[in-house]
Structure 1
Amino acid sequence: MALERTLILIKPDAVQRRLAGTILSRFENKGLKIVGLKLMQVTKELSAEHYAEHVEKPFYPLLEEFITSGPVIAIAAEGPEAISVVRSMMGSTNGRESAPGTIRGDFGVSRQMNLVHGSDGPEAAAREIPIYFKPEELVDYESSLSAWVCADDEK
């Protein structure tokens, strides 16, 4: 299994609804290691960089308006197959269609106000993490719990 890093954004709707701690704890409880964490305001420039593939699409202005509407919490998380683990935990984009037990299924009813973002693949993670974190803001460390989260041959 591949040890991966992924970007997670706790979006403005989740921050405003005071769900940030609950959402962060789900990722920690799953066994993912937090290697970067910060509260920040997404600017229009940062939004355009992050969502570069969508800038010319008709829905982009609403996406930009939403992601810049309030603070986000940027997280770099690490773990075995972290990208697919996070994507599964988030649920479908539309909260009304997300399964109970997922973040969006438990807390969301909207397609646009969907609480969290997670990198959709290794290339996206490699591109997105440096948008939000300088190298010195990511911390490599050994967790004393790692031996109890995943067997050595799964890391």
Structure 2
Amino acid sequence: MERTFVMIKPDGVRRGLIGKIVTRFEEKGFKIAEARLMTIDEQLASVHYAHLQSKPFFGELVEYITSGPVFAMILEGHEAVRNARTLIGFTNPIEATAGTIRGDYALIVDYNVIHGSDSVENAEIEIERFFG
């Protein structure tokens, strides 16, 4: 079984979407190995988004992800990273297909409801970062 990291972002938590989103993953066949509601501090956010540090929107991104609780999950399943990314949809909700999480619940790229690891290697790094 492959593992991946998925995080419902502050806008998804504020809007009460945790249950709906978790249900989609469970109905797809994923097993939730571990999950927690947590608040990300600036240090963890800066590490998580370090690859975007040179971008002009970096400060806003850190401010957003630290603005409220997130729901972090370790999901297990067949080709978990790829399957989760397909279910999540494109980063920009305008490009995300209806039926994907972002296609159904997000309006703008700045508040796109959910994060999912983009590779098996990054999934392991993110799992360690958020779950230890």
Name 2:94's counterpart in structure 1. 96
1:138 maps to what in 2? none
With normalisation by structure 2, the TM-score equals: 0.97
- Say which one has the larger Rg: 1
Measured after TM superposition, the shift of residue 93 of structure 1 is 0.8
Identify the residue that residue 54 of structure 1 maps to in structure 2. 52
Residue by residue, what CA displacement relative to the aligned partner does 1:88-141 show, whole Å, maximum 9, x if unpaired?
A: 00111111221000001111111110000000001111111011102xxxxxxx
Superposition pairs for residues 1-155 of structure 1, below 5 Å? Answer: 3-134=1-132
Counterparts of 2:51 and 2:114, CA distance in 1:
19
The alignment's C-alpha RMSD in Å is: 0.8
Q: Which structure 2 residue ranges, 5 or more long, are not aligned?
A: none
Partner-residue secondary structure (3-state), 1:42: coil
* One-letter code aligned to 1:129: I
1-side partners of 2:82 and 2:15: how far apart?
26
- Post-superposition offset of 1:84: 0.4
AA matched with 2:79: E
Give the letter for the 1:6 counterpart.
Answer: T
Q: Measure, in 2, the Cα distance between the counterparts of 1:4 and 1:97.
A: 27
5+ residue gaps, structure 1, are 135-155
Paired residue secondary structure (1:129): helix
TM-superposed deviation, 1:56: 2.8
User: How far apart, in 2, do the equivalents of 1:97 and 1:122 lie?
Assistant: 24
Q: Secondary structure at the match of 2:97?
A: coil
Q: Which contiguous aligned blocks of 4+ residues in structure 1 show a shift greater than 4 angstroms?
A: none
TM-score by length of 1: 0.83
